[in-house]
Structure 1
Amino acid sequence: MLFLGMLWYALDTEHRKTAEANIRLALRVSQEEARRLTRQNFQHLVRVFSEFPRMTRMSRENFRQFVDPRGEEHLMRSLKRGRGVLILTAHLGNWEWMAYCAPFFLPARLHIVARPLRPRILNQWVTTVRQRSGNRVIPKQRALLHALKALKRNEMVGFLLDQNAGKKTGIWAPFFGMEVLTHKTLAHIALRTGAPVHPVFNHRLADGRYQIDIGPEIPTPQHGTLNDKAAAFTAAFNRILEDQIRQYPDQWYWVHRRFRRFRAQRSF
């Protein structure tokens, strides 16, 4: 993986420049440090991509050879309330393994909101693999309706909230000392349904497995208008995302143009 990661770093100028620029902007590090982190990041992402087909080997009997889940009791407690559960996560660690193994240690189906891939034949193959363990993939364009139906069945819906949003689908929220457009769907669904939101992330361990950390419910804002609450909720989501990325900066998806739109953070 080291060789392939370095080869990707050397040949893919566009993504290398994007990652280095993102790292410098977010982490406020030197150019030299940004290059070092980018090289590590490319090596990590090559490993994640190469690990995708291995998911088909995972089962209820052997999944702990691949992941180490912790904090399941938080989700169990929320599922007992019968309103379903919303998952806040990101493209950190090996997000594919984390989602795939969820049915092996949790009692409710997981629905994953995802943007369809291109070409269509690749999307069909990836979706088939992702759903083999019992999960369901929700196309991003129909996320709201499918998510509401899943929550009514007391199931779980996962949102990877770390990608760039448009002006119609996003809300300005603090992230790494600036404001970025962040998808607002998760906050609005949570406020509309009363479903609890839990942070669930993972990171690679020295032995090659990934530790899955499931956190307690994120407190729901109680004051202001619906838009005020959605803004406060989304800001809280971004704070959690930022904290995770700072802990494992080499394991996030820096090659995405997350800071394509940003503005100075407002002070109150």
Structure 2
Amino acid sequence: MRCRRRRPRASAPRCTRGCMAEALPSEAPASSEAQPPAHFPRELSASWPSAWRANPGSRTGALARVECALVNAGLGGAARLPDGARALLLDALAFVAHKVDRRHTRAAREWIDQAFGPGLAEDELARRVRRAFRHLFRVTVDTHRATRVIEPARLREHVEVVKTADVERVLAERRGALIASAHFGDWETMGAVLPWLGFDPLYAVSRPIRNRYLSLHAQAARERRGVRIVPRAGAMQEIPRILASGGHVVMLLDQRGRHRPVLAPFFGREAACERAPSVLARRSRCPILFATCAYGDAPLSWRLELGPVLWPEQTRRMDPVELATRINAELERRIRARPEQQLWVHDRYRARAPQPRELENEATDSVEAD
């Protein structure tokens, strides 16, 4: 039976089926303890230190619904293709994107050129840009495929986990950690497997997709795999509460900082970086744990690398630029080891003039994070 689109009574339970795409952010529970959606894995912690909130995009209407339906149908079809046919499809999509999407092609060329120097031949540079587009499509299709064929609780059987001793200390002490990662390898699978390794509850900070229905569909898909979403708007008010309760928060920090960024070197060039890790480390005295999840050689296999950990005793002596530099150096090391698994199609070095309000409040800690 299809659920009717009507605002529920205050006493009525929230509908968590497919019609959740119609839920409004204002309908989120007021309590800091929220009941998990019905599709959330019951094997994970039922405690939600940050109340469930919808993460909808702004674009609605018939065209947005049609777009959502077409994207989901396309992903479903691609996920069911044999390996060879799926590889050919990804190659074709990457070729078209390289020709059509000039903005992201230009951004990828700039970032790759900065990372590897001007010595790359034009053919090689173009090949790496196409490979970056292909990697984006691969992560999208493989996420849909893995969700369809692997039970959330059994995902860890497909992941080789490599971790340092200080990671075990974080888990043993039940300390909430800020998990620093990048759009490298399969970041969706990384988030999905971490709760089953003891990082539970796990939250990921996410900006909504512009298409409202796609955004809420993506949120529900992540929740079905055990990842709780913190919408970017208002995230800095929620994250300290999550960390204080022993929860963990994933932030992807390889892309351009957008709100009062700090300038720090990344691949040998000053880049706008997020200030949030420095603010959170100071406010919450939480450890910062590095994590990335690279693709393995076999189909539906991954290698999760956890650690090192930056402890509060270390980060409290670092100013925001020093901490951003340290984070960038670790992420850069991992990206250089497997550059074909990095999402280069991002205008990483685009400058942005500071806004007057930001200049006036430079001494404050009010920031938002991706």
**Are 1:189 and 2:280 counterparts?**
yes
2:211 to 119, 144, 147: 119
The whole-number CA distance in structure 2 between the counterparts of 1:149 and 1:221 is: 20
Secondary structure in 1 matching 2:271: strand
Match of 1:154 in 2: 246
Q: Is the CA contact (8 Å cut-off) linking 1:110 and 1:136 kept in structure 2?
A: yes
The reply to whether residue 236 of structure 1 matches residue 321 of structure 2 is no
5 Å matches for 1:91-170?
Answer: 91-166=183-258, 168-170=259-261
The CA deviation string for residues 56-111 of structure 1, in whole angstroms up to 9 with x for no partner, is: 23335531454322217543311333441110001111101110122222252111
Q: 1: CA distance between counterparts of 2:233 and 2:152?
A: 31
SS at match of 1:259: coil
Q: Which residue of 1 aligns with 2:96?
A: 7
Residues in 2 aligned to 1:177 and 1:239: alpha-carbon distance in whole angstroms: 10
Structure 2 regions of 5+ residues with no counterpart? Answer: 1-89, 353-370
**Unmatched 5+ residue regions in structure 1?**
263-268
Aligned partners of 2:162 and 2:305 also within 8 Å = yes
Q: 1:72 to 1:239 in 2, by over 3 A?
A: closer
Residue matched to 1:27: 116
Q: 1:202 and 2:288 equivalent? A: no
Aligned match of 1:265: none
Instruction: Give yes or no for the alignment of 1:78 onto 2:170.
Output: yes
Check whether the contact 2:164–2:308 (CA below 8 A) recurs between aligned residues.
no
CA–CA separation in structure 2 for the residues paired with 1:222 and 1:165 = 21
Which structure has the larger Rg?
A: 2
Out of 251, 261, 266, the position equivalent to 2:351 is 261
Counterpart contact for 1:87–1:156, Cα < 8 Å: yes
Deviations 1:11-63 (A, max 9, x none): 33332222112211232142333212112222222211111222423335531
Give the superposed CA RMSD: 2.1
Q: CA deviation at 1:148?
A: 0.8
Residue 172 of structure 1 and its aligned partner are, at CA, apart by: 0.8
- Aligned mates of 1:73, 1:122 — CA distance in 2: 39
- Paired with 2:169 and 2:144, the residues of 1 have a C-alpha distance of 33
TM-score by structure 1 length? 0.88
Deviations 1:111-132 (A, max 9, x none): 1011111111111000111111
Aligned 1:34-53 pairs, distance under 5 A = 34-53=125-144
- Tell me the TM-score normalised to structure 2 length: 0.65
Contact 1:88–1:197 (CA under 8 A) maintained in structure 2: yes
Instruction: Kindly indicate whether the alpha-carbon contact (under 8 Å) linking 2:152 and 2:226 is maintained by their aligned counterparts in 1.
Output: no
Partner-residue secondary structure (3-state), 1:162: coil
Corresponding pairs, count: 257
Letter in 2 for 1:246: R
Distance, in Å, in 2 between the alignment partners of 1:63 and 1:20 is 35
Structure 1 window deviating more from structure 2 (133-142 vs 175-184): it is 133-142
Does the 8 Å CA contact 1:67/1:97 hold for their aligned counterparts? Answer: no
Q: Which of the two has greater strand per residue?
A: 1
1:217 alignment partner in structure 2: 309
